[in-house]
Amino acid sequence: MYKLPEDINDDFLQGEVVKMVCFNLNQIYIHFQSSIQICIEGQYSLVNRKGEKIYFDVHPVLNDNGLLQILEKEVKGVEISKSRTDFSIQFQDGVLLEIIGNCLYESYSIKLNERTIIV
């Protein structure tokens, strides 16, 4: 498995607003106001406004699992794990999305302009 490159830091999503969340059977796409996109193909967790943390596997996508609540929300912060395989996105309303890497398969990708990062 790959890791997030060292030149990607905690401010790569700062101030971005989620404009679209798209689903297919094996992937969830999150589109931000700029050209940044995240494609989740593995596990993620969502901590809701009540502080409840729930883990999900993308396959198969059966419903939105609460992701629609991040639409039109601004990113207040990002935290990259020390292993550089996972990262968390804190939204303006207190919702926290954690995207989790897996050493056995490609778990997510980030498209930054013309660059695609696969983890």
pLDDT of residue 113: 86
pLDDT of residue 104: 87
pLDDT of residue 67: 94
Low-confidence ranges of the chain (pLDDT < 50): none
pLDDT of residue 103: 85
pLDDT of residue 94: 92
pLDDT of residue 63: 87
pTM above 0.85, yes or no: yes
pLDDT of residue 48: 84
Q: Give the 3-state secondary structure of the chain.
A: CCCCCCCCCCCCCCCCEEEEEEECCCCEEEEECCCCEEEECCEEEEECCCCCEEEEECCCCCCCCCHHHHCCCEEEEEEECCCCCCEEEEECCCCEEEEECECCECCEEEEECCEEEEC
pLDDT tens per residue, range 3-34: 999 999 999 999 999 999 999 989 999 999 99
